[in-house]
């Protein structure tokens, strides 16, 4: 029963952050097209977070509550020294793991190289007086990890000065050199990540 509860807690914690973990896994595996596969789970994130807290809270309550006289009287020898899988240490490990999963969206960006601003050293030799800025509406971003994924991919293009993706607004602002890069190339790169450009800038 306890193991089933802990399994449910871990599963809920994983599901709550799956939409943000997938882009990182996709990047590491070199298959960035699956990045937004689980973005449909994002609306249910509060539910999964709540389930995780309830399950782990109940597990800790069961572990820390005082034993009744009946439980002490009925205790078997093996109950006096529980196995690792039924110990507070194991429950602590599960709690830390669940906490890391739940908070993953807040630190996912550290797994990506800095992409939002390429810096003067990278762009110094390019003619910055002729840059062009576009704002694209992008579907599928659900957290800061999604922003970092798009910024990482677009900033790798030659001719890009800066990238700023904002998941809350569903937008990506890119400043680039038209002499070196076409707008459609930027759109194609974003679409290949698994996110979708749903609105192009008006001429």
Q: Where do the domains of the chain lie?
A: 2-109, 112-199
| Residue 196 burial (C-beta neighbours within 10 Å; 0-12, 13-18, 19+) | middle
Look at the block and give the residue holding tokens 């970092």: 148
**Size of the chain, expressed as the number of residues it contains:** 203
Residues 69, 6: Cα–Cα separation, whole Å: 26
Q: How far is CA 83 from CA 86, 88, 122, 140, 187, in A?
A: 5, 10, 56, 44, 55
Q: What is the mean pLDDT of each run of 10 residues along the chain (203 residues)?
A: 71 72 62 61 81 88 80 57 78 89 79 55 55 93 85 92 93 94 94 86 60
pTM above 0.85, yes or no: no
Judge: domain 112-199, CATH 3.30.70.100.
Answer: yes
């Amino acid at each position: 029963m306890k193991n089933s509860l802990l399994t449910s807690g871990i599963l809920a914690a994983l599901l709550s952050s799956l939409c943000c973990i997938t882009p990182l896994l996709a990047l590491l595996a070199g298959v960035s097209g699956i990045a937004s596969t689980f973005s449909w789970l994002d609306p249910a994130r509060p539910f999964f977070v709540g389930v995780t807290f309830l399950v782990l809270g109940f597990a800790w309550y069961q572990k820390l509550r005082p034993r009744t006289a009946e439980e002490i009287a009925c205790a078997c020898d093996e109950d006096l020294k529980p196995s690792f899988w039924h110990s507070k240490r194991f429950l602590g490990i599960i709690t830390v793991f669940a906490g890391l999963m739940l908070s993953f969206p807040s630190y996912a960006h550290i797994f990506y190289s800095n992409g939002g601003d390429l810096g003067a050293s990278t762009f110094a030799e390019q003619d910055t007086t002729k840059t062009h800025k576009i704002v694209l509406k992008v579907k599928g971003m659900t957290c800061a990890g999604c922003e970092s994924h798009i910024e990482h991919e677009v900033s790798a293009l030659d001719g890009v000065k800066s990238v700023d993706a904002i998941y809350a607004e569903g937008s990506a602002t890119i400043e680039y050199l038209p002499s070196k890069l076409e707008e459609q190339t930027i759109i194609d790169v974003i679409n290949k990540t698994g996110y979708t450009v749903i609105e192009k800038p008006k001429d």
